[in-house]
Amino acid sequence: MKCASCGIENPLNARFCTGCGEEITAGLDDSEELICSECGTANKASSKFCTNCGHVSSRRTTSGNTDVNKSAAIQGRDRLDASPYSATRDTPEIRAIKSKRLTAGLCGIFLGCFGIHKFVLGYTRAGLIYLGVFLFSCWFGGFTVSGLIGFIEGIIYLSMPYDKFKETYIDNKKEMF
């Protein structure tokens, strides 16, 4: 793509000119259209945002090649959803993982001493260990050990991107920390 300011030829997916640093907005011809990564609406080549839903669009030529700028596509989204797959629509599997992550994280923060967050993830043995530590420590004045560890794990779950959460706790079955 040729820069309108200095005339240097830039790669097709470049947002800024490699010669002068200006944003490349000109040079899009009528064979290109912007496709919204959220709703799939076709927009004018000069559009930066979807006219239907307002999200950042990806560039698709008539040959079907797509250029998705991931950092621009996740701009303005929740930090917890800022993952490599955020530019695409959430599948039922992704929604289920995000829901499980949120549920386990909140249970870890608020009910971590009982090990509820481990039961949510399907780790029965680890949940029973938490419950046993809670019952044992109740006789000795408190449940701070299991509660503190559950609180920390809840924060870890919520701060982790969903794809990393899936890899660590769903696919690899990592029970503790």
**Residue type at 110 in one-letter notation:** F
Task: Name the residue with tokens 């709703």.
Answer: 39
Residue 2 pairs with which residues in a beta bridge? 9
Q: What is the mean pLDDT of residues 106-111?
A: 95
Would you place residue 88 in the very low, low, confident or very high pLDDT band (cuts 50, 70, 90)?
A: low
What would the two tokens of residue 167 be? 């890899």
Contact 87, 156 (CB under 8 A): no
Which SS3 state, helix, strand or coil, does residue 8 take? coil
How many Cβ atoms from other residues are within 10 Å of residue 23's Cβ? 13
Give the span between the Cα atoms of 62 and 53, in whole angstroms.
23
What would the two tokens of residue 13 be? 């997916």
Q: What is the mean pLDDT of residues 94-114?
A: 93
Residues in the chain: 177
Contact 49, 37 (CB under 8 A): no
User: Is the pLDDT at 76 greater than 60, yes or no?
Assistant: no
pTM given for the model = 0.51
What would the two tokens of residue 11 be? 């790669």
Give the span between the Cα atoms of 44 and 60, in whole angstroms.
11
Would you place residue 75 in the very low, low, confident or very high pLDDT band (cuts 50, 70, 90)?
A: very low
The pLDDT tens digits of the residues spanning 117-175 come to 999 999 999 999 988 888 888 777 556 788 889 999 999 999 999 889 999 999 998 88
Instruction: Give every strand in the sheet of 42-43, ordered side by side.
Output: 42-43, 32-36, 57-61, 66-67
How many Cβ atoms from other residues are within 10 Å of residue 62's Cβ? 10
Give the span between the Cα atoms of 152 and 110, in whole angstroms.
11
Q: b/e map of 116-128 (b: 16 or more CB within 10 Å)?
A: bbbbbbebeebbe
pLDDT at 73: 40
The pLDDT tens digits of the residues spanning 27-71 come to 555 456 667 777 777 777 666 667 777 765 554 433 444 444 444
What would the two tokens of residue 40 be? 């799939």
Residue bearing the bigger pLDDT, 1 or 86: 1
Which SS3 state, helix, strand or coil, does residue 32 take? strand
